[in-house]
Structure 1
Amino acid sequence: MNTPLPVTLADIRAAEARIRGRVRHTPLMVDPRLSGVLLKQEYRQETGAFKLRGATNAILSLSADELARGVVTASTGNHGRALAHGARACGARAVVCLSHLVPANKVQAIRDLGAEVRVVGQSQDEAMAEVARAVAEEGLIEVPPFDHPAVVAGQGTLGLELLADCAAPSSVLIPLSGGGLAAGVAAAVRSLSPSTRLVGVTMARGAAMAASLAAGQPVEVPELPTLADSLGGGIGLGNRVTFAMCRALLDDVVLVSEDEIAEAMRHIRAATGDAVEGAAAVGVAAILSGRVKPGPATVCILSGANVAPETFARIL
Structure 2
Amino acid sequence: MFRFLIPTAFLFFIIVPIALWAAYKRNKRKVFSFSNADMLFALKKPKATVEKCSWFLKIAALILFVFACARPVQTRDVSLFTQQSSLDLLFTIDISSSMNETATANTSDKSGLARIEYAKQALYALLDITERERAGLVVFAQNPYTVLPLSFDHTPLRYYASRLQDYPGTIEDGTAVWDSLMVSAERLGTVDSPAKVIILITDGANNCGFFTEDQVLERLLRDDIRLYVVHVGNYFSFTLTTRGEIDKIRKVSERSSGVFFTFSEERNIQKIAKQIESLERSIEEKQERLRYHQDYYLYLLVPALVCLSVSLNLDWIYRKGYLL
Question: TM above 0.5, one fold?
Answer: no
Given the two structures, how large is their TM-score scaled by the length of structure 1? 0.30
Determine which structure has more spread, i.e. the larger CA radius of gyration: 2
Task: Tell which has more relative contact order, 1 or 2 (C-alpha 8 A, sep 6+).
Answer: 2
Given the two structures, how large is their TM-score scaled by the length of structure 2? 0.29
More strand by share: 2
